Structure 1
């Protein structure tokens, strides 16, 4: 499986596959900002909304492919304020349920971390549902737990859940 950074045109070309991945993540219980049952048309529009962000350099998206099909993503969102250009938020690290257990999540995380270093980013941060399988990945990859916010976001089934905040200094940070 390979992961490639998508430019705005490639994001447009892959929007249907990216929507399939996001639907699978929510159906599998991932708390990634959407509630179940997920309206696929809403997800397609959400991904289309990322095109201008990617084109404008405000975010970056990588997609992992297996046999030509998108099976994972990770993104970075770059702040636009002068006092925060040293950091980025890691977002939408997702792996399709049938591609899990093969190290793809870790590879995507590494790709995003290396891209952050190349872009001069010295601090990464993220939030994830407390108690989720993703927490093990982040801890084992050297991310530091900053704290927990109770009732931060609803699970895909609408139940308010705590969120754990993590950060990581990149090489040189």
Structure 2
């Protein structure tokens, strides 16, 4: 919701998915959710998949508005990065060009802006190279 409010008119695909789109996507994406252990409340989610370029496409990073700023988004981002298959060398995500808080978090996590024709008008692409373990 905040992404759409900060970027009115921007056509980031995840912001316009129907429930049926999300259901179909469960077979295409690795989806993780965070729940409050005491209540079971859904408090965050993230998803990732290998795209046509062989990059790990990260999407729908969501944190309940009342819990933002507590590190849950960063934890979900780190989690989804760890779930990328072994051959992936680059993480990629889209966000609104006016979503300064999101961009700040991604930059702190090592993501950088990349010029990319796939980005819808008003959106930016951010990428990060995967560190090799060993």
Structure 1 and Structure 2 fold alike (TM over 0.5): yes
Match of 1:128 among 87, 92, 95: 95
Q: Structure 1: how far apart are the matches of 2:86 and 2:41?
A: 28
CA displacement, residues 67-92 of structure 1 (integer Å, 9 cap, x when unaligned): 3121111111213x5xx33x211111
Say which one has the larger Rg: 1
Contact 1:130 1:148 in 2 (8 A): no
SS in 2 for 1:138: helix
**Could you tell me which residue of structure 2 aligns to residue 74 of structure 1?**
46
5+ residue gaps, structure 1, are: 1-24, 35-41, 54-58, 154-161
Deviation, structure 1 residue 125? 0.8
CA displacement, residues 17-45 of structure 1 (integer Å, 9 cap, x when unaligned): xxxxxxxx3697376422xxxxxxx7432
* CA RMSD between the two structures: 2.7
Q: Structure 2: how far apart are the matches of 1:128 and 1:27?
A: 8
The structure with the greater share of residues assigned to helix is 1
Aligned length: 123
Deviation, structure 1 residue 113? 1.2
TM-score with structure 2 setting the length: 0.77
SS in 2 for 1:72: strand
TM-score with structure 1 setting the length: 0.61
SS in 2 for 1:109: helix
5+ residue gaps, structure 2, are: 7-11
